[in-house]
Amino acid sequence: MREIMYRDAILEALDEEMARDDNVLLLGEDVAFIGGNFKTSVGLYEKYGDLRVKDTPISEAGFVGMGVGMALTGLRPIVELMFSDFLLIAADQVVNQMSKIRYMSGGQATVPMVIRAPIGAGRSSAAQHSQSLQAMVAHFPGMKVVLPSTAQEAKGLLKSAIRDDNPVIFFEHKMEYTNKFDIDDDVELIPIGKADVKRAGDDVTIVATSSQVMKSLKAADKLAADGISCEVIDLRSIVPLDRDAIIESVKKTGRLLIVDEAYERCGVGAEIAANVMEDVFYYLDAPIARIGTPNVPLPFSPALEFPIIPSEDKIIEKARALTVADA
């Protein structure tokens, strides 16, 4: 194994897939000359040239639509958005074109396309550049929605996404880019739709996405010192959703805490809670709890921003409350 930054794992996945398949190409704002806003494509322009690593104008609707056209002609475009917030600018291309073409053509046309989009708060990027929009795109059928937590997941899941014949929205948490992780020397493909139990436990199931997985693992370490055993599940993707992994864990622990940075209203936590209630209601020893971002715009001020987003302390507090509720 070796230590690597999250952003470099993404770069390696892009490089390896572009070397493997000449149909794979990258386009987006500043992906070529400066190597990406978060330095995830450094050196690719010099290696693969202008036809395969393309800087685009500031026109998300235009270049996302161009990516759809490329995919329909047999290419495998990877479209990088500078922030996930900009999905809203290209919403028609994403939810009315990219996601529906395979179904509307009766399977005659495929759209093997990946949209990479940074999510998350913590950088004082304010209300228009800090949102986590995974629940929004998950609402629309026809797309896979992936949220890698570590460098290993980032590389293995991105390679799988690029090879998938369906459109994939690939959310990268901007606070993880420069964090270092241990990674296998040879990372295998990680199947999309398969959750991973990062830590086994008996008292509380914590289901988390993206950077919240690492916060949950740190919280679980501290809770273990108090005699509370947490099982931490990294969802990896929310479409497809690995319901079986969640349900089997809840059957064992009897308690469920869902941690996702998106807005709480109509969020990932609500969807998972509904799934669990339908299948294993009578296994629950306490009400399902969830942690998300309150339904307010993300503040610019760090003094206002950090108190409203999920944190290690909030996870500890909620997990303890679940065990107290049972007692």
- Cα 246 to Cα 6, 68, 162, 285, distances in angstroms: 26, 34, 26, 15
Residue 122 confidence (pLDDT): 87
Q: What's the CA gap between 292 and 157, in Å, rounded?
A: 24
Q: What is the DSSP letter of 85?
A: G
Give the up-direction half-sphere exposure of residue 37: CA atoms within 13 A in the CB hemisphere. 15
Tokens of 306: 């950090």
Catalytic residue among 129, 215, 236, 318: 129
313 Cβ partners below 8 Å, 6+ apart? none
Let me know if 139 is a catalytic residue: no
Classify 259 as helix, strand or coil.
strand
User: Do 290 and 258 contact (CB within 8 A), yes or no?
Assistant: yes
Low-confidence spans in the chain with pLDDT less than 50 = none
pTM of the model: 0.95
End-to-end CA distance of the chain: 43
Residue 324 confidence (pLDDT): 80
Q: What's the CA gap between 113 and 272, in Å, rounded?
A: 27
Q: What's the CA gap between 1 and 256, in Å, rounded?
A: 33
Residue 326 confidence (pLDDT): 53
Delineate the domains of the chain, giving CATH numbers in brackets: 2-183 (3.40.50.970), 196-326 (3.40.50.920)
- Cα 67 to Cα 89, 164, 177, 271, 292, distances in angstroms: 15, 15, 25, 30, 32
Residue 261 confidence (pLDDT): 97
